[in-house]
Amino acid sequence: MIPADWTPHRRDDGELLGWIRPEGGHWVAIDLLGHAASDAGEWLDAEEALESRGLAWLADIWMLERDAGEALQVKVVEVAPGRDGEAGRVVVQTDDFGAIDIPVKQYQLPWPSPLALRPRRSGETGASPFG
């Protein structure tokens, strides 16, 4: 659930980019996954951090770390921070590599997203979710 002191920040078209939250006498940008997207600083710096980040980063390939130390290659398919006391969620699914005949598996994660969900490193590939 979004804390009451977080202020939504939207693009000119109204699309939510994240939030800005107070930290002492400064402000921190929070991305849609619920993580800091800037250091504490001025309000305009927090806005700029969200504006420059945009939304395209959500469409990137991500890695979901599994218990056995393996990581699955996934895509973010839903981000729902939660409202009115309900818990939020982040839904990811295994990468289908653009094919229509590859089965995908979905995983529902809590919001803010856990550290087990992370951006893919350059050249990294993931394990198959089907063994």
Cα torsion 99, 100, 103, 109 to 10°: value is: 80
Note the pLDDT of residue 97: 75
Domain contains 125: no
Does 131 reside within a domain? Answer: no
Q: Are residues 48 and 22 in the same domain?
A: yes
Q: What is the pLDDT of residues 48-65, one digit of tens each?
A: 999 999 999 999 999 999
Whether residue 124 is contained in a domain is answered as no
- What's the pTM value of the predicted model, to 2 decimals? 0.86
Asked if residue 46 and residue 13 are part of one domain, the reply reads yes
Q: The domain containing residue 97 runs over which residues?
A: 60-119
Residue 43 DSSP symbol: H
Residues 69 and 40 reside in one and the same domain:
no
Residue range 107-120, pLDDT digits in tens: 999 999 999 999 99
68/54 Cα distance (integer angstroms)? 33
Q: Are residues 88 and 75 in the same domain?
A: yes
pLDDT band at 131; cut points 50, 70, 90:
low
Task: Look at residues 46, 54, 11 and name the one whose alpha carbon lies nearest to residue 30.
Answer: 46
